[in-house]
Structure 1
Amino acid sequence: MSVRGDERGSATAEFAVVVPAVVLLIALTVGGLSAAGRQVRLEQGAAQAARLVARGEDAGRATGIVAAVAGGGVDAVTTEGDLVCVTASAPAGVPLPLPPLRARSCALSEGR
C-alpha cells in the first residue's frame, strides 16, 4: 500500500486541530469540578456558621469560619422565629465566567 503525496501530513494536521479542543475540554471539566467542590465547602461553612451563631457565638467568628472553609464571606445573618439563618457567598475561584457561589443554612437557636 503506497501513500499518495497529497495525503502525507494529514494525520499531523488532524492532531493539531484535535489537541487544543481536548485540552479545552479537560480545562473546563477541571474548572467545573473545582467550582462544585467550592460550592460544597461553602454550604458546609454556612451550616457551621449558622450553628455557631445559633449557639450564641459572635457573628465575626461565623465569618471567619466561612472564610477559612470556602474563601468566602457572610452576607447576612437573619433570625426567622426560632431559626438563625446565615447567607454566605464566595467567588467561583476558577477563571471561567461563573456567577459568585451562594449558600444559605439555618439552625435552631437556643431560645433567645
Structure 2
Amino acid sequence: LEERLKFYKHTETSKWKEIADNFYLPQDEELGIFVQHDGFLDKELLTTADLRKSDRPLNQNWSWDRILRSVFIKQADVLQGLYFFEQDFDEDTIRRNFDFYEPRTVHESSLS
C-alpha cells in the first residue's frame, strides 16, 4: 500500500515533523487571542453587524482586494485550529478566541 500510494514513511513523516517544529502561531497578549495572521489587528476591527445587508455575500459584492484589506473572514481558521487541538487549550482561551472571531466571520466559505 505504501508503495502504491508513494508514501515513503521516513521522508514523509520527517517533513511533517519539520512543519510541526516550525509552526507559527502568533498571539496578542493584550487580547489573549491567537492572531489570524500578521497584521490582522492593524485592520479596522468591525463586526458583521456593521455590514449592510446589500454587502452580503461579500465575495459577490466586494472586490477581492477590499475583502483582503478588511477584517472579515469567511471562516475562522484560528477557531478550527483550536477545535482540532482542543485538549491543548483551556476553556477561557477558547472562549476569548471564539468571542473575538465569531462576530467577524461571514460564514461564506464553500467549505463551511
- Higher Cα radius of gyration: 1
TM, length-normalised to structure 2:
0.27
Q: In proportion to residue count, which structure has more strand?
A: 1
TM, length-normalised to structure 1:
0.27
